[in-house]
Structure 1
C-alpha cells in the first residue's frame, strides 16, 4: 500500500525523475536512505514502471498528432492478437486502446506531416484487414500531461511518519 509520503515522492518523480534522491527526501521530510528505499519499493511493486524523458515533438519532427478510430468486423482473439502485433511494430503509434461503443480501437499516431501519415495508413491497411478507418488531425494541443492524478490512491495509514 501507498502512504502519504509515497504519494508525495510519486508526485515529485512524475514532475521530474532526475531530481536527486537527497532532494526528494528533503522535500518530503526523509533522509536519503529511507527515501531511496521507498523509491526502490515502489519500483519493485510495479507502481513506478519506468523513468523516461519527455521529448518536444517539434524538435524530433513528430509534430502532427492523428487520432485514428478503427472498426473491424473481426471480433475474435486471433485477430486482436495479430492486430496488436502489427501495432507494436509501428513506432508512429504511441497509444493504442480497445474501446467500447461505436469505435473498436483508438490509436494516437505521431508523424512529421500528412504524407508520413498517408504512408503509415497504407502500411497499416496492407498488414491487417480493417472494416473502417477514420482519422482526426489535432489542430492544437491544449493540454498534455504524463503525470497521473494521485488523489485517488487509497492510502495506507502512515507508518508513524508525518
Structure 2
C-alpha cells in the first residue's frame, strides 16, 4: 500500500528521474536513507518500471507526428502476431494499440517528413493485407506527457 509520500516521490521522478534523492527527501519530508529505500521498493515492486531519457523530437529531426488507423478483416491470433512482428522492427512506430470500435489498431509514428511516412506505409502494406489504413498528421501538439496520474493508487 502506497502512502502520500510514495505517490509524491513517483510524481517527482516522473517529472525528473535525475532529481537528487536529497531534493526528493526534502520535498516529501523524509530522511535521505528512508527516501532512497522507498524509491528502491517502488522499483522492485515494478511501479517504477524503468528510467529513460526523453528526447526532443524536433532536435532528433522527427518533428512530424502521424497517427495511423488500421482496419483489418482478419481477427485471428495469427494475424495479430504477424502484425505485432511487422510493426516491432519499424522504429518510426513509437506506439501501437489494439482498439475497440470501428478501427482495429492505432499507431503513432514520428517521422521527419511525409516521404519517410510513405516509406513506412509501404513497408506495412508489403508485409500484411489491410482492409483500410487512414493516416492523420498532427499539426500541433497540445499536450504530451509520459507521467501517469498517481491519485488512483
Greater RCO structure (CA 8 Å; 6+ sep): 1
What residue ranges of structure 1 are gaps of 5+ in the alignment? 154-162
Matched residue SS, 1:146: coil
Matched residue SS, 2:58: helix
Superposed CA RMSD in Å reads 0.8
For 2:106, the equivalent position in structure 1 comes to 106
Alignment of 1:68-83 (within 5 A): 68-83=68-83
What residue ranges of structure 2 are gaps of 5+ in the alignment? none
For 2:118, the equivalent position in structure 1 comes to 118
Summarize deviations over 1:122-162 as a string: whole Å, max 9, x none: 01111122111000000111111111111122xxxxxxxxx
Summarize deviations over 1:68-119 as a string: whole Å, max 9, x none: 0000011011110111111111111111000000000000000000000000
For 2:88, the equivalent position in structure 1 comes to 88
Distance 1:129 1:145 in 2: 33
Alignment of 1:53-72 (within 5 A): 53-72=53-72
Distance 2:56 2:50 in 1: 19
For 2:2, the equivalent position in structure 1 comes to 2
For 1:32, the equivalent position in structure 2 comes to 32
Normalised to the residue count of structure 2, the TM-score between the two structures is 0.97
Q: Which runs of 4+ in 1 moved over 3 A?
A: none
- The number of aligned residues is 153
Normalised to the residue count of structure 1, the TM-score between the two structures is 0.92
For 1:131, the equivalent position in structure 2 comes to 131
